[in-house]
A and B are shown apart, each in its own frame.
Chain A
Amino acid sequence: MSNSIKLFFRESWLLMVSAVFFGALLAVANAAWAPKIAQNEINKFSNLAKALLPEAMKFEPLQNKDKIIIDLGDGKTAGADVRKGLDAAGNCIGWAFLAEGSGFADKIKLVVTADAGFTKLNGFGVQQCSETPGFGDKITIKNGFYQAQYKQAPAGKFTLTKIGDSKKIDSEIVAITGATVTSQAVVNIMNTYVVQIKQQLQQKKLIGQ
C-alpha cells in the first residue's frame, strides 16, 4: 500500500506542483483583472441601454424579491438582469434587460429596452455577437433596417417573415437576406424574454396590467 502511494507521488509530483503553481497564477490574474472585466460588462450594458433610453440617468437593478426568472425551455431556467431606467427626478421612464440565446455561430447577447409601461420596445443593442461578417452581423448595425423594426414595436411575441415591409412597425420581423438563422435567433431571444419579463413585472405590480 505504502509503495503504491510512494509510486503515485513519485510519478505525479510535478503535475501536482504545477497545478498548484498555475492555479495560484490564475488566481492572482483573476484577482487583478476580474473587477475590470465586470466593469467593462456593466459599462457596455449601460452604454447600450442609454443609447436606447437617452433620458435615463441611471439603470437601477430590481430588488431581490422582484428577481425575474426566465423559463428557457427543456426544464432550464435563468435569472434575468432587468433594470429600471430612472430619470433625474427618479421616475421610471423605461426598462432595460439583458437577453441571450444561441445564434448561428455562437451565443448572441442583446440589451433590450422597453417603455415605462412595457407596452412598446425602444429597440435593442448587441452586447455580444459572433455572427457571420457581412450577413448575420448585420443585426449589430445601429439604426440598420433589422434593428429599426424593433423600435416602437409592441412588447409581445414576434414572428419572422422572409418577405414583407420592414418599415411597417408591428410584430412581424423581416429577416436579413442570407442570415435567416441569425434573424430567427434574435426573434427567439425576444420571444423568450420579452413576454416572460412583461408577465412577471405585471405579477409583481411593477407595471400596469
Chain B
Amino acid sequence: MKTADMGLWLLAFRLPSAIGLLLAPSFLSLAALAASPDTLFQAGATAYRAADYTQAAEAFRQSVTLQPASGTLQDLGNAEWQRHRTGEAILAWEQALWLDPFNDAARQNLRFARKTAQLEAPELAWYEVISTWLPVNWWAWIAGGSLWLAVGMGALPGLLRRRKATWQQATAALALMVFLLSIPALFGVQTRARIGFALQKDTPLRLTPTLEAQTLTRLAPGDPARWLRSRGRYVLIRTSRAVGWVEQDQLGLTCPKAGKRIG
C-alpha cells in the first residue's frame, strides 16, 4: 500500500476524532473566556473602584485561583484590607512578593499595613533573604540551568573530541559559581514556603492540639509564624513569642501546598 493511500485510509478512519481534536480547543477557549483570569481581574478592579470590596475580593480570589499573578494578589490584598481583614491582606501581599519581589507597591502596602496594625514582619535567615532577591520560580531554573551548563561546558568538548576553549572553561566556571550561589537561595525558598500568617482575630495559640488545650497567647491577624508539623486539623507553629498549636484554617501559608507536604 502506498503512503498516500495509507494516509487517506487513516484520515477516513480517524476523521471524527480528528474533528474533535480540532474543535476541542475552541470549546475550551469559549468556556475559559467566560471566567478567564483577565476578565475576573477587570471585574474585581471595577468592583473595587465602586467600593464593593467584598465582590472585588471574590473576583480577585477567583482570578488567583485560575492563575496566580502578582498584580492580582496585590489588588486582592487591597480589597481585603478595605474589608478590614488584615490577615488575608497581608497574606495576599506576601504572596504577591513571593511571585514577584520587584512589586514595589505590594512591598509598600505591607509596610503600611504592618505599621498601621502594629505587626511584625517575619524574621528571615540570611539564605531566606537571598531567596527574596528574585522570584521564587527563578531559583530552581537558575540552579538547574547553571548546573547542566557547567556539566555541558566541561564534558561536551571531550565527548565531541574538541579542544576545550578558554571561553568554554570560563563559562563552566561561571555556571558552577552561579549554581553554588543558588543553592542557599533554593534552601531559602523551601523554608520560606513554611511561613504563614494568622488569619483571624485573636487566634488562640494552644499548648496541645486539642480544643480544650491551654491558650498560651493570642495572635493578631497578620502575625507571622512558621509551620513545623501538623496533627489532625491542628498545626504546630513557631512564632516570635512561643511555639504552639493552631487550627489549620486559622493560618494562611505563603505557599498553600507546602503544609501538606510537611504535614
On whether the two chains bind one another, the answer is no
The chain A residues found within 8 Å of chain B, CB to CB, are none
